[in-house]
Chain A
């Protein structure tokens, strides 16, 4: 119990520390949390509006929501991939559960996401004309994505520490997934025979659900969300098992 409180403090404190140091390092500080996805959205919107002819505020929001949700996942998992190795000197001196380190990176990135997402949410509601009842689904969606992120990060953090080549592989996988997750397009553009494949990707399902809830005021597809929840549960379980097995073995298996 004491340890639990201490670990909670470490995660909380280091998350804050990470945000602080980031803000102190860059001139624009926290503004980057929003500026970065805005810039990417600008590029994607420019390209997509020319290709599809979809223009206007809603098209921007569509991409922006997809972009933020995607960056929340990719940013967190890629940070987690390096988080144990980055603090190797700490692990050599104090016995700490290794999972704390990916959790800190997820925390930092989640606050970043929350900041930008909050602003996007408010402006989306202004565009669509006020919140609908469907918005009550939003916390469920966010919790599901967080579970997915934590599960994936737990697995990735140990795997990359053991086999560092995996980092490049995962990076490439993410790049590929980005294009098929519907970040800058909607399911309507996907050919019918490919739709089941499209929806097998939890991120595509989540992004679609965010848009339904925020922009269309519709409840998300529960069947598909169930599959996402199952995926997240499997990842969490696997990640937990991997961490408990490797926690005290990692230092004997790797050398940095």
Chain B
């Protein structure tokens, strides 16, 4: 086994924004508490759990969007690029699809040159044709989603964080986009997938973690973990 790429040690996060005015900050509910998790290079880790179990907070923590309030988050080296598969990060309506592709890429941690070299692939995959050079505020919502997905696909991080396997656009594009996500699972990429569907995790991952109330209940082979999760649900 390779060394862990990411290591969470006794990590805890709590939100203070949601509490009612005047409430004591220390009484805020912890979204994550005492979490220990190691993610190794090339691993396809699936995280199952019901709504509000802390899955999304965990992804944000891994993506470096928020810092832990307790414990530590460690990377094997400082250059590890972890990124959330996000659709359409901050599109500027008056700019063209191509211009927005570069801007989104910059947001997601890629250089301008990296994105410029991949504009053609993005245009092709998104099936936007000439509309790629038209302002984004003339797009339909489907076109927006297709562009967003195609950009995210080209950002190529070391660790891909995926919040549900997204199906975007019409049926044909859904099939295509899901196939592209599955492709990421076949490559030598590190992927963390969260889902409330045990079946998806069972199919796509080689390790699963079951989370409940900000803590890990089970960690191991997907088939076993998912079975326990399914049984507990019913």
Q: Name A residues whose Cβ lies closer than 8 Å to a Cβ of B.
A: 2, 5-6, 9-10, 13-14, 17-18, 20-22, 24-25, 87, 89-96, 248-249, 251-255
Q: Which residues of B contact A92 (CB under 8 A)?
A: 60, 65
**A94 B89 Cβ-Cβ under 8 A:** yes
A-B contact pairs, 11 of them (CB 8 A): A6-B112, A89-B90, A90-B89, A90-B90, A92-B60, A93-B63, A248-B64, A248-B66, A249-B66, A251-B60, A251-B66
CA distance A14 to B17 in the complex (A): 29
Q: Which residues of A contact B63 (CB under 8 A)?
A: 93-95
Task: Check: B129 CB closer than 8 A to any chain A CB.
Answer: no
Interface residues on B, range: 20 to 34
Q: Which residues of B contact A6 (CB under 8 A)?
A: 106, 109-112
Task: Check: B86 CB closer than 8 A to any chain A CB.
Answer: yes
Q: Name B residues whose Cβ lies closer than 8 Å to a Cβ of A.
A: 13-18, 60, 63-67, 69, 83-84, 86, 89-90, 92-95, 99, 102-103, 106-112, 135
**A95 B94 Cβ-Cβ under 8 A:** no
Interface of chain B: mostly helix, strand, loop or mixed: loop
**A17 B92 Cβ-Cβ under 8 A:** yes
CA distance A249 to B15 in the complex (A): 9
The residue that A87 contacts in the complex, of B64, B90, B110, B135, with Cβ under 8 A, is B90
Q: Which residues of A contact B107 (CB under 8 A)?
A: 10, 90, 94, 96
**B65 A91 Cβ-Cβ under 8 A:** yes
Nearest CB in chain A: distance from B14 CB, A: 7
**B66 A252 Cβ-Cβ under 8 A:** yes
**B65 A251 Cβ-Cβ under 8 A:** yes
With contact pairs A6-B111, A248-B66 given, residues A255 and B83 touching in the complex (Cβ less than 8 Å): no
Nearest opposing residue in chain A for B106, CB measure: A10
Q: Which residues of A contact B89 (CB under 8 A)?
A: 89-90, 93-94
With contact pairs A21-B92, A21-B95 given, residues A94 and B109 touching in the complex (Cβ less than 8 Å): yes
Nearest opposing residue in chain B for A7, CB measure: B106
Q: Which residues of A contact B14 (CB under 8 A)?
A: 252
Q: Which residues of B contact A95 (CB under 8 A)?
A: 63-65
With contact pairs A94-B84, A252-B13, A252-B14 given, residues A13 and B103 touching in the complex (Cβ less than 8 Å): yes
Nearest opposing residue in chain B for A5, CB measure: B111
CA distance A17 to B92 in the complex (A): 8
